[in-house]
Amino acid sequence: MEPNQQLVDEFTSACGLGESNGIAVEHALIDRSSLTESIRRALTKKLPRLIEAEAVRRILLLEKGDVAHGYSAVRAAIDEIRPEIVGFEKLDEIWLANTSIWRWEGFLSFFELFPVCGGRQANGKSRPHGAAVAAAR
């Protein structure tokens, strides 16, 4: 299983989405460069696939692998670029997966960013595909 698919599977499980029938989920990684530009790229690349998917619910799962950006900063960046993103109104939810300690501790947290920032949260605990336990150096 690909690491991105495992993250999506962990998300659907932690949020109680079951087999996720009728739910389309796309994954995008937020990089450490410009937060706004990173989210713009993610929405521009992933939103067309979500819109085209035959689904009753469309979810974008953003991933942050470090502590560089807080939840409210990511939501503020989404709000800033939202008017310029074609098809944004067809997106049902945006969640942020915090994977900063997943590889070492096996802990994941998911935080709803849109439509309600902080409206829902979920946690998961598993090892990512192919991850090794960190050794003391």
Stronger pLDDT, 118 or 42, i.e. the higher one? 42
Burial 110-119 (b: 16+ CB within 10 A, else e): bbbbbeebee
Q: Residue 111's domain spans which residues?
A: 3-125
Burial 54-90 (b: 16+ CB within 10 A, else e): ebeebbbbbbbbeeebebeebbebbeeeeeeeeebee
Residue 73 lies in a domain: yes
Residue 29 lies in a domain: yes
Give Dmax over CA atoms of the chain in angstroms.
Answer: 48
Residue 121 lies in a domain: yes
* Complete DSSP assignment for 30-74: PPSS-HHHHHHHHHHHHHHHHHHS--SEEEEEEEE-SSSS-HHHH
pTM of the predicted model as reported, rounded to 2 decimal places: 0.75
**Section 39-45 average pLDDT:** 90
For residue 77, the surrounding DSSP H or E stretch is: helix 71-81
Number of domains in the chain: 1
Contact between 35 and 77 (Cβ < 8 Å): yes
- pLDDT above 90 as % of the chain: 9
Stronger pLDDT, 51 or 22, i.e. the higher one? 51
Residue 131 lies in a domain: no
Res. 133: pLDDT tops 50: no
Residue 89 lies in a domain: yes
Residue 130 lies in a domain: no
Residue 135 lies in a domain: no
**Pairing status of strand 107-114 against strand 121-125:** antiparallel
d(CA 98, CA 39): 15
What pLDDT is recorded for position 34?
83
Residue 132 lies in a domain: no
Mean pLDDT (the chain) is 76
What pLDDT is recorded for position 124?
65
| Residue 45: other Cβ atoms inside 10 A | 11
pLDDT tens digits, residue range 74-120? Answer: 889 999 999 999 999 988 888 888 887 777 777 778 888 888 766 67
